[in-house]
């Protein structure tokens, strides 16, 4: 298969399995020689911040000289983002060759009515690639939940990392924080180390503490209050934590909290014998650039793309927007199974102009519904089916001292990023 055919094949597989469990991926991995059993992992779960935290840990390990694999979900710009080694995505030809080897095993299983999902296939292929490319360690981001996620086929990792937990995917994971936390804590394995996000909600933290104790894990939790913030703006932050002066290119105090989670994970690895200097940690964190995570596309006017897609993510973005002394325009599109009413109520009071759009997903919310929620707060509100029309509406009259935020779903991030980048390059 060529690269285009490879992606078509991958996307032709089921998105979700017909039944929960790890039996199918275990069978597939056994057919591939169980590469996951020959690798070391940092396993990262949570509702928000998984991608940023995973990237920070991976970057520091690479700076320290470890050949570091990174597995993330979902991708924003390019499918190959999902599999990286030392920050380099898997090559197109390499991905095609890899799937040419995995596909016959998937089809042999299908003949026995053992149906492999898209995520299971990608996860198995990634394990094989990381092993054959000689990775010293892999930073492994959970896809959904934790307990039954395909990545959870691994044994006890070097560290289990639990990022911020909030209400999301409630139909699948549960309707309370404790239920969702229980699913996330499925990645905690016996006799390991668990690192917890420092601003965890008490209800979720109680579950994490219980699972860590039951699995005889050392539980590590950073102290956000001990971080001395020296500088914070839309371009990132500079702060002191654990006697290290750290810099981030990603905005928001939630990213500082994610960085503290990453630092505590790296220090836990250091205690296990990993050669991780303060310099490697500093350089690793400073080097991370993450698409659609409060990504600044332009400084004048300020144009920010953020994949905030649930209430917790929107709360983090709202804190940034509220801190600005600017006229704010928002382009937002959300999925219908998210808490779009609360997200709209959170952002609307700060907005002078609002464009509602439909993300590229079957579960997309009708933009008219979103616009109707915002209009009582912001009279200059319109609903659009076209991304281009929404951008034209938002950009009209936008002054250098103003701000434009594009948010609501990662499913709109790729297209909006491409369109805005092209517009800004031609200005």
Question: What is the predicted pLDDT for the residue at 175?
Answer: 63
Question: What is the predicted pLDDT for the residue at 3?
Answer: 96
Residues in contact with 191: Cβ distance below 8 Å, sequence separation at least 6, in sequence order: 156, 215, 216, 217
Q: How many CB atoms lie within 10 A of CB 277?
A: 13
- Give the Cα separation of 69 and 299 in Å (integer): 33
Question: What is the predicted pLDDT for the residue at 413?
Answer: 85
| Three-state secondary structure of 263-323 | HHHHHHHHHCCCCCCHHHHHHHHHHCCCCCCCEEEEECCEEEECCCCCHHHHHHHHHHHHC
Q: Torsion over CA of 104, 101, 125 and 158, rounded to 10 degrees?
A: 110
pLDDT one-digit tens code per residue, 164-216: 998 765 555 656 889 899 999 999 999 999 999 999 999 999 999 999 999 99
- Give the Cα separation of 203 and 176 in Å (integer): 9
Q: Are 83 and 129 in contact (CB under 8 A)?
A: yes
Question: What is the predicted pLDDT for the residue at 325?
Answer: 87
Q: Strand locations in 366-411, DSSP E?
A: 381-383, 403-407
Question: What is the predicted pLDDT for the residue at 17?
Answer: 52
User: How many residues belong to the chain?
Assistant: 427
pLDDT one-digit tens code per residue, 45-102: 998 889 999 999 999 999 999 999 999 987 877 899 999 999 999 999 999 999 999 9
Which helix (H) or strand (E) segment is 329 a member of? strand 328-332
Residue 96 tokens, joined: 């095609």
Q: Write the DSSP symbol of residue 80.
A: G
Q: Partners of 117 in the beta sheet?
A: 14
Residue 383 tokens, joined: 């609903």
Question: What is the predicted pLDDT for the residue at 171?
Answer: 54
What is the gyration radius of the CA atoms in the chain, in angstroms?
A: 21
Q: Write the DSSP symbol of residue 91.
A: P
| Three-state secondary structure of 212-266 | HHHCCCEEEECCHHHCEEEEEECCEEEEEECCEEEEECCCCHHHHHHHHHHHHHH
Residue 12 tokens, joined: 């032709």
Residues of the chain with pLDDT under 70: 15-20, 168-175, 309
- Give the Cα separation of 136 and 67 in Å (integer): 5
- Give the Cα separation of 116 and 127 in Å (integer): 15
């Amino acid at each position: 298969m060529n690269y285009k055919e490879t992606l078509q094949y991958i996307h032709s597989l089921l998105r979700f399995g017909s039944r929960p469990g790890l039996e199918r991926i275990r069978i597939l991995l056994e057919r591939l020689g169980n590469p996951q059993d020959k690798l070391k992992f940092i396993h990262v779960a949570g509702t928000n911040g998984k991608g940023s935290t995973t990237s920070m840990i991976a970057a520091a390990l690479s700076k320290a000289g470890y050949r570091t694999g990174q597995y993330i979900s979902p991708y924003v710009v390019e499918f190959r983002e999902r599999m990286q080694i030392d920050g380099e995505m898997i090559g197109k030809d390499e991905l095609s060759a890899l799937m040419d080897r995995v596909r016959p095993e998937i089809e042999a299983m299908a003949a026995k009515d053992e149906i492999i999902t898209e995520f299971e296939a990608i996860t198995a292929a990634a394990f094989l690639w990381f092993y054959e490319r000689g990775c010293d360690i892999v930073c492994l981001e959970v896809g959904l939940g934790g307990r039954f996620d395909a990545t959870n086929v691994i044994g006890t990792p070097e560290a289990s990392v639990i990022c911020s937990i909030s209400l999301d995917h409630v139909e699948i994971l549960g309707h309370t924080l404790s239920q969702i936390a229980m699913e996330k804590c499925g990645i905690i394995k016996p006799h390991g180390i668990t690192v917890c996000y420092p601003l965890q909600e008490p209800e979720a933290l109680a579950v994490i503490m219980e699972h860590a104790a039951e699995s005889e894990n050392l539980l590590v939790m950073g102290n956000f209050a001990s971080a001395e913030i020296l500088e914070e703006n839309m371009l990132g932050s500079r702060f002191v934590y654990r006697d290290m002066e750290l810099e981030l290119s990603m905005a928001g105090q939630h990213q500082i909290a994610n960085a503290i989670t990453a630092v505590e994970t790296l220090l836990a690895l250091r205690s296990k014998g990993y050669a991780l200097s303060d310099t490697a940690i500093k350089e690793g964190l400073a080097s991370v650039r993450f698409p659609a995570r409060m990504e600044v596309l332009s400084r004048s006017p300020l144009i920010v793309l953020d994949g905030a897609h649930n209430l917790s993510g929107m709360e983090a973005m709202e804190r940034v927007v509220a801190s600005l002394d600017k006229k704010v325009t928002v382009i937002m599109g959300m999925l219908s199974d998210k808490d779009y009413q609360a997200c709209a109520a959170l952002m609307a009071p700060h907005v002078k102009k609002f464009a509602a759009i439909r993300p590229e997903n079957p579960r997309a919310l009708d933009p008219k519904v979103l616009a109707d929620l915002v209009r009582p707060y912001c009279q200059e509100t319109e609903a659009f089916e076209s991304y281009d029309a929404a951008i034209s509406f938002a950009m009209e009259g936008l002054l250098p001292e103003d701000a434009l935020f594009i948010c609501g779903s990662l499913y709109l991030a790729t297209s909006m990023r491409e369109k805005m980048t092209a517009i800004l390059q031609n200005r």
